[in-house]
Amino acid sequence: MNAESAARPDHEGVTPDRLLHTGADDGVTAEDLVLASGRDLTPENIEWAKRRIAAKGRAAIEEQLP
């Protein structure tokens, strides 16, 4: 760890693993899919996500995750 990373607060930079989740324990929501795809939470994008989840199920979000 260098001085720059030591001075940076924890909430900046890479998201800590403890805050990440894939929805493996819960159902995937349209909002989850919109955010995973890097889109804004707009009514149009939420409708897109609902259609995609209806067509592909859980695979819809798994395609967005590395």
Which range marks the domain in which residue 46 is found? 21-66
Please report the pLDDT score of residue 39 as a whole number. Answer: 95
Tally of structural domains, the chain: 1
* Top-confidence residue, 7 or 50: 50
Looking at the domain assignment, is residue 7 inside a domain? Answer: no
Looking at the domain assignment, is residue 3 inside a domain? Answer: no
Residue 62 has pLDDT above 70, yes or no: yes
The predicted-structure confidence for 5-43, as pLDDT tens digits, reads as follows 555 555 567 878 777 665 556 678 999 999 999 999 999
* Largest distance between two CA atoms of the chain: 49
Looking at the domain assignment, is residue 14 inside a domain? Answer: no
DSSP the chain: --HHHHHS-TTSSSPPGGG---SSSSPPPHHHHHHHTT----HHHHHHHHHHHHHHTTHHHHTT--
The dihedral through the CA atoms of 49, 28, 60, 34 has a sign that is positive
Looking at the domain assignment, is residue 30 inside a domain? Answer: yes
Looking at the domain assignment, is residue 10 inside a domain? Answer: no
* Top-confidence residue, 54 or 58: 54
Residue 49 has pLDDT above 80, yes or no: yes
